[in-house]
Amino acid sequence: MTKKIKKPVIAGNWKMHKGPAATREFALALAPLIPKGSGATIILFPPAISLTTALSTLEETGIAEQVEVGAQNIHWEDEGAFTGEISAEMAREVGASYALIGHSERRHLFGETNDETSLKVRAALQNELRPMICVGETKEEREEGRLEEVITTQLVAAIEGLEKGEIEQIAIAYEPVWAIGTGLTATPDDAAEAHQILRNKLAQAIGTTGAEGVPILYGGSVRPENAADLCAANEVDGLLIGGASLQPESFAAIIEAATKG
């Protein structure tokens, strides 16, 4: 399957960084760095406590139409006795348009299972949030030659039972666990290999044309220096950025690098 020319998706996952005051400061600093018609779909995933501040400040600065906002995590129930959780319905009510689901830190630090990831995907879709499903292998799994097994198992669990039109609404982020926050980065060829596996699995589920429309992002130690090469790799439709998305200058530099050419 050949790579389609499409608008890259550049997303910043802030993890547990930036309360409301720091979020407002970031958005104010980012606004003049993002030219109109940047050529990218831009998404920020702030902490839940900062969602409304992100949305209101982006609106205030005039870049809300260019920068979307998503929740880092959601519960699959609309409401209930789930202390500390937020629902997809709540995230959508404040203005989020995406939900990050199945991030490796949720899986490995908090024990999130494939079944729970599946429930969250359905909750997101039912509440008009676009799920960004994270998949990725550990260093040990990669060394054991289990890349395809691990990432396809995670993907299939997340989309099993969905209708074709629902699958076409998802986004995927391939994040090799060994490259997240370690300074190690998959090569463009590594990323292309994993993304091709995911694209092929999608094509089996919804056909080639449908699969080509699902953005597959790479995440893991992305920096301004490697963004262009990663985005140029076959089947890589964008980037999910961690640490480098915390500074408006480096985030804007990645957007610029990813949209050149």
Annotated catalytic residues are 103, 175
- For residue 241, give the DSSP letter: E
Task: Spell out the residues 6+ positions from residue 123 whose beta carbon is closer than 8 angstroms to its own.
Answer: 74, 75, 76, 77, 78, 87, 88
Which residue type does 168 have?
A: E
Q: Where are the beta strands (DSSP E) in the chain?
A: 9-13, 41-45, 67-71, 98-101, 130-135, 171-174, 216-219, 238-241
C-alpha 91/C-alpha 73 separation (Å) is 9
Question: 253 burial class (0-12, 13-18, 19+ CB within 10 angstroms)?
Answer: middle
Q: Which of 155, 127, 146 lies closest to 216, judged by CA? A: 155
Whether the Cβ atoms of residue 81 and residue 130 lie closer than 8 Å to each other: no
